[in-house]
Chains A and B, each alone.
Chain A
Amino acid sequence: MTEATGDGPRAQERGSLSNWVPLGLAAAAVAALVVGWPLVNALLPGSETVPSGEPVTVGAAGEYRASLTFPQDGWLLDTGASQAGQVYRFDRGPVQLTLNSVTPTTSPPPTAEELWDGMRRVARAGEASARLSEPEAISTEDGAEGLTGTLKSDSQQGAAVVYPSPDGRFAVEMTLAGQDATTADLAAVADVVRSVSFTREGAA
């Protein structure tokens, strides 16, 4: 970008390229990115099998990390719709298990009831007609306490669960539902929502 002479007058002599060329290149670049990546994504296989009995880490904050262990075979992780440590989408037939690992920013951390109220609004942010019932107490197989209730919307119904981590620095929120899932489908895997466990980081 220093002054130079070699490129100057000769560049002028070469004349201009039609402005259609940069216009076309710019439009092509936008189209390639907007169409190309979703297309490549659609062509790649989108799920991987999650074996039963093996814990899957789903979140961590503070001194704890959370994992989920599927009691049944047949669960698939939708990798394209998941983000490590934040959002996980698991499918088993018509049943969908959506898990959010949320990290409250306030101090002291919110109570389970406050987390449930927040989850009501988060559910409505995903589907306007989604409603959570009044919560009831629930505990994981390891004894961690949380809240559960029913999830109803125009398109699906199922269960919602929230478990705060022992130090309250994060929480695991789950919805077990599916547009085509029957009550029997959901009942067959209902115990998955109790398979969350919190492990202290550094502990064996």
Chain B
Amino acid sequence: MNHAPDDRPAPAATDRGTVPSPRRSPHTTPGPRRVPAPRPGDGGSARGRRLPALASLVLITVLCLAGLLYLALQMALPVRAFLPEALLAAALGIVTLAFGFWVLRRIRPVREPDADASVVAVAWGLFAATGAGVVANGGLGAVWAKGLGLDLAGVWGAALTAPLNEEVLKLAGIVLVAVAFPTSVRGPVDGFAIGSLVGLGFEVTENFIYSMNAVLMAGGTGGLAPVVQTAVIRVGLTGPGSHWAMSAVAGTAVGLLAAVGWRPRTRRAVCAALLVALAMALHWLLDAPLFSGVLGVLAKVAVIFATTMAVYLTVRRAYRRRVRDALGSEAEELGMRRSAAVALATRHGRRRELQRVAQPEQPAVWDRQDRMVRAAEDRAALYAGHSV
């Protein structure tokens, strides 16, 4: 998301979507809500972040491969014994993944998160977090069974195990993605989006494992029915309040910390810690043996979804305001109408501005819009460190 210097001539500013190329200017224009343009020094730590980013990417790759290998070894025999069921479960997983990937990238305000970071986030959820989760949950689940007894562990084991293990493993992935792609995770909205994608990957692999377990728990009878039932319950019923939601909340915390170079003051640190605790609490609520029955589960899913949306709308509102302010500042510097620049803060606004110009000019205008929005997001990211 850092940009190469623009070597094309800046076109004349207009009142419509023909946005001129962003340019730097001293902050001389007065205004009620001016957002400082990025200074050369603001990216000064980029060199210092390169090696940790590389190391993080290597670690993610290694752990994803290890998780994939472990899961493949664990699932090889069940898949071989129940191949049609496994193929259906995989197909449903691919559909879930494709739809979720599209939706969750779209929910980021202004524009989609970086594609590379998105793919790596999903991969962490699909392989590394789930592979590690199977090992950790197996260990802690057995500890509960030994410590609490089989009956109590059978009722409360999931609620005592998953919120701790799975949320931390997914959170670790969000942090690693933030370190590997420092320009892609610069604030709460980025953390929310990347977190939701990590959760999506986790959800898809977990659905596959649950489907195969359902086949075994049905005694190998019923053909494809246990797989379909699992998909209906885990995607249709609990899907709206599942891993994507909890990790989006935890990811918001990562974004808060990444925005200030991982060195928050007390208020921000407490806020981040509360968000992680909230993600764990939501996971506990879903897994706890309370409010059983379809209506009870629906109520729990509704609470989780509403809580996640409350977090989302809060960070979205703040971020869109920052981007609008940044676009407004750029408009002043470029001499264009403020409303035309601010309209670029939304996909709809950009499309509308684009449709106002002649077809042959649209690619060039789109390119300028893109660069102006990216520049505004750079400014907004700086400003993200100034708010909690």
Contact = CB atoms under 8 A, between A and B. Distances in A.
Interface of A: 1-12, 14-23, 25-27, 29-30, 33-34, 36-41, 44-46, 77, 79-86, 100, 102-106, 110, 114-115, 117-122, 124-128, 162, 171, 173
B221 A8 contact: no
A46 B222 contact: no
B143 interface: yes
21 contacts: A1-B388, A4-B388, A6-B267, A7-B267, A7-B388, A11-B263, A11-B268, A12-B385, A14-B263, A19-B262, A22-B178, A29-B171, A33-B169, A34-B135, A37-B165, A46-B146, A79-B145, A102-B218, A105-B229, A110-B222, A127-B77
A154 to B, nearest CB: 13
A132 to B, nearest CB: 11
Q: Which of A29, A39, A77 has the most C-beta atoms of chain B within 10 angstroms of its own C-beta?
A: A29
Most A Cβ at <10 Å: residue of B56, B145, B221: B221
A118 B132 contact: no
B220 A33 contact: no
Given A7-B267, A15-B263, A41-B139, A100 B219 contact: yes
B147 interface: yes
B14 interface: no
B260 A37 contact: no
Given A19-B48, A34-B132, A11 B218 contact: no
B151 to A, nearest CB: 5
A27 B219 contact: no
B55 A23 contact: yes
B38 interface: no
Contact of A11 (B45, B168, B229, B265): B265
A126 B128 CA distance: 24
Given A38-B139, A114-B221, A19 B182 contact: yes
Contacts of B315: 1
Closest 7 A/B residue pairs (Cβ): A16-B261, A84-B154, A8-B386, A37-B139, A118-B220, A102-B219, A80-B142
A1 B314 contact: yes
Contacts of A122: 81, 216, 219-220
Contacts of B147: 44
B172 A30 contact: yes
A83 B204 CA distance: 24
Nearest to B42: A12
Contact of A102 (B171, B217, B257, B263): B217
Given A19-B56, A128-B80, 16 more contacts: A1-B314, A2-B314, A3-B318, A6-B265, A12-B260, A20-B55, A29-B168, A33-B169, A81-B142, A102-B221, A105-B222, A114-B221, A115-B219, A118-B221, A122-B81, A124-B81
A201 B2 CA distance: 67
A4 B56 CA distance: 32
Contacts of A102: 216-219, 221
A106 B225 contact: yes
A92 to B, nearest CB: 18
B226 interface: yes
